[in-house]
Amino acid sequence: MNTANKLTMLRVLMIPAFLLVLYLGVPGANYWALAIFVVASLTDTLDGYIARHYNQTTDFGKFMDPLADKCLVTAAMLWFVEIGQMPGWALLVVIIREFGVSGLRMVAADKGRVIAAGWSGKVKTASTMVCIVLMLLPINPWINNICVAVIVLTTIYSGVEYFMKNLDVLSQVK
């Protein structure tokens, strides 16, 4: 297993640690969870850089890296839903977008086409990570509401953009 894949697996292992800290409610739990989340998020940037820069791109990494990201973000949002900091429908929007784009990519791959991450998807990911970091801090409810709105709006926008740019993939479905 190369370095990039080891970092991806480290991120996967950090997800239960992130949730465990929150559920155990240890003193300063949100700050410990925040630290774990930030380190896990940074491993995403680092493993991508290492994979591309040192030619360590693998099929395992192509599969596991986005899965690890989605699991980390979903775990955080599930926690926010559970504690009443995010409405369940907002998380549902995120999950539907992820399933939709993943399905679109599978159909495209079956046709020999790769749908690369677009600009709006990168903005969605970055803004979601920043918002999760803010939501782990003791912030005013109005800032929390802005974070939820940013997550939902960037998620919807990027999802619509992926589908609009790739409608031809779906029009070829038999």
Q: Average pLDDT of 129-134?
A: 97
Q: First and final CA of the chain: distance in angstroms? A: 39
Burial class for 97, CB neighbours closer than 10 Å (0-12, 13-18, 19+): buried
- Give the domain ranges of the chain: 1-83, 86-174
In the block, tokens 């979601």 appear at 128
pLDDT tens digits along 30-62: 999 999 999 999 998 899 899 999 999 998 988
Residue 174: pLDDT band (50, 70, 90) is low
Instruction: Name the residue type at position 101.
Output: V
Helix, strand or coil, per DSSP, at residue 106: helix
CA-based radius of gyration for the chain: 17
Looking at every residue in the chain, the average pLDDT score rounds to 93
Instruction: Pick the most confident of 55-59, 65-69, 86-90.
Output: 86-90
Q: Average pLDDT of 80-84?
A: 97
Task: Say yes or no to pLDDT of 173 above 70.
Answer: no
Q: Average pLDDT of 5-18?
A: 96
Long-range CB contact pairs, 145-153, < 8 A, 24+? 148/86, 148/87, 148/90, 151/77, 151/90, 151/94, 151/127, 152/90, 152/93, 152/94
Q: Average pLDDT of 105-123?
A: 86
Weakest-pLDDT range from 3-12, 135-144, 165-174: 165-174
**Contact by Cβ (8 Å): 76, 172:** no
Task: Say yes or no to pLDDT of 71 above 80.
Answer: yes
